[in-house]
Amino acid sequence: MGKHLFFVAAPAAGHVNPVLPLVRELVRRGHRVTFACGPAHAGAIEDAGAEAVVLPWTLDPTALSRETFSTTSFVELLDGLLATAAPRLDELVERAAGAELVCFDATVAPVAAAVAQRLGVPAVALIASMAVNEHLPLAELLPPDFRPDNEALVRYATRLHEFSADQGFAQPLVPMAAPPVPLTVVFVPPAFQLATETFDETYRFVGPTVGAGDWEPPSGDRPVLLVSLGTAFTDRPDVFRACAAAFAGTEWHVVMSIGRTDPALLGELPSNVEAFASVPQLGVLRHATAFVSHAGMNSIMEALALEVPLVTLPQVPEQALNARRVRELGLGEVLDSEALTPELVRGTVLRVAGDPAVRDRLAWLAKEITAAGGAAAAADAVLGLLG
């Protein structure tokens, strides 16, 4: 007889998309999944075979820019997720009734911990970035202005303390620290994670599972370059202009996912360059010769699984860490998004795309991703807790 599992994740593509292959695998094996998230991801959750529970969770695009990203904006995002979910906790527990396990991503750990405690079941942490410990401190992933005495952080700590008391936790929850769990599933392969050997057996580094993608290039014999800054820090017309100019009039076909950037700010694009608010990333990557990326972990994992060399343009600390790891492992290069020129973009893309050593390293890492097991290994680990 199938099990019932309850999932909850922050309403962001980088938190939801890596988890959906696990959901599909659990459903394929005959289990029931109920998944709480914001309205923007309800359709994708249902497409994966889960029952969507829609919470009033949305991300404010104005908080996702280089100018406004800070400890205050980040903590206020966490505080807002908790504040809007707490009044719906009884409903969440009702929708999760019968679940034998709660799976959550760290940004919504307080909500997940409360549901798990009310149900009397264990919880599993799901991590789509690198796992942290004393060898990779959380501070390396936080905004550069992080300070323990930040006013927003102090307010959030107070809310967590009150929430912990209301829920009867033996120990109060603290900001940006998940409660102890018997299993943490990390959607990064051991070969990419830093200091893998320092994590105990409760951590399973399963890597990504890459699905299909629907996109066909306009001409099958032209190299394709994908340019994307993800879904958060996308307001960078300067970056997209540099990338468009870099390959104007060349044999390359350039596909740019520009997010919130106003297309009018790009000017007239060359005939071999396309710009869209969003693109079917996996579909384009399956045909791509190279990828200019913001170095979000989900994008990196998709590119590496498909053996696409990377030119990274990190904008925040977590992305910078990912980008350095790409360079350390010989999988691509890192550029400063503040000092781009068309010549620099073109030269770097051509170098990594044509380097046999990079191709060899990509083939190695793709094998490591396959060996990590992906969604099947994650499902085995999660179901293993239930005997």
Domain carrying residue 191:
4-210+371-384
3-state secondary structure of 107: helix
Q: Is residue 119 part of a domain?
A: yes
Q: Are residues 200 and 282 in the same domain?
A: no
Q: Is residue 215 part of a domain?
A: no
Taking only the tens place, the pLDDT of each residue in 179-214 is 889 999 999 999 999 999 999 999 999 999 998 788
Q: Is residue 216 part of a domain?
A: no
Please give the Cα distance from 230 to 123 (Å, whole number).
Answer: 29
3-state secondary structure of 191: coil
Q: Are 383 and 181 in contact (CB under 8 A)?
A: no
Which among 293, 317, 314 is positioned nearest to 303, based on CA atoms?
293
Q: Is residue 349 part of a domain?
A: yes
Please check the confidence at residue 64 and state whether its pLDDT lies above 80. no
Q: Is residue 86 part of a domain?
A: yes
Q: Are residues 120 and 163 in the same domain?
A: yes
Please give the Cα distance from 43 to 51 (Å, whole number).
Answer: 10
Q: Are 57 and 84 in contact (CB under 8 A)?
A: yes
Q: Is residue 363 part of a domain?
A: no
Q: Are 285 and 305 in contact (CB under 8 A)?
A: no
Q: Is residue 46 part of a domain?
A: yes
What torsion, rounded to 10 degrees, do the Cα atoms 348, 353, 355, 360 define? 130
Q: Are 13 and 40 in contact (CB under 8 A)?
A: no
Q: Are residues 261 and 309 in the same domain?
A: yes
Q: Are 322 and 314 in contact (CB under 8 A)?
A: yes
Q: Are residues 182 and 236 in the same domain?
A: no
Q: Are residues 155 and 291 in the same domain?
A: no
Taking only the tens place, the pLDDT of each residue in 72-82 is 888 888 899 99
3-state secondary structure of 226: strand
Taking only the tens place, the pLDDT of each residue in 314-372 is 998 999 999 999 999 999 999 999 999 999 999 999 999 999 999 999 999 999 999 99
Q: Are residues 81 and 131 in the same domain?
A: yes
Q: Are residues 115 and 253 in the same domain?
A: no
Q: Are 318 and 127 in contact (CB under 8 A)?
A: no
Phi-psi label, residue 17: left if phi above 0, alpha if psi -120 to 50, beta otherwise:
alpha
Q: Are residues 309 and 231 in the same domain?
A: yes
Determine whether 100 is exposed, middle or buried from the number of CB atoms within 10 Å of its CB (0-12, 13-18, 19+): middle
* Other beta carbons within 10 Å of 295: 27
Please check the confidence at residue 287 and state whether its pLDDT lies above 90. yes
pTM of the model: 0.94
Q: Phi, psi (5° rounding) for residue 269? A: -85, 150
Q: Are residues 166 and 57 in the same domain?
A: yes
The confidence score (pLDDT) of residue 108 equals 93
Q: Is residue 61 part of a domain?
A: yes
Can you give the CATH number for the domain in which 260 is found? 3.40.50.2000
Q: Are residues 116 and 246 in the same domain?
A: no
Number of domains the chain is built from: 2
Given CA atoms 278, 284, 285, 289 in this order, what sign does their dihedral have?
A: negative
Q: Which two tokens stand for residue 244?
A: 């468009």
Q: Are residues 156 and 83 in the same domain?
A: yes
Q: Are residues 204 and 243 in the same domain?
A: no
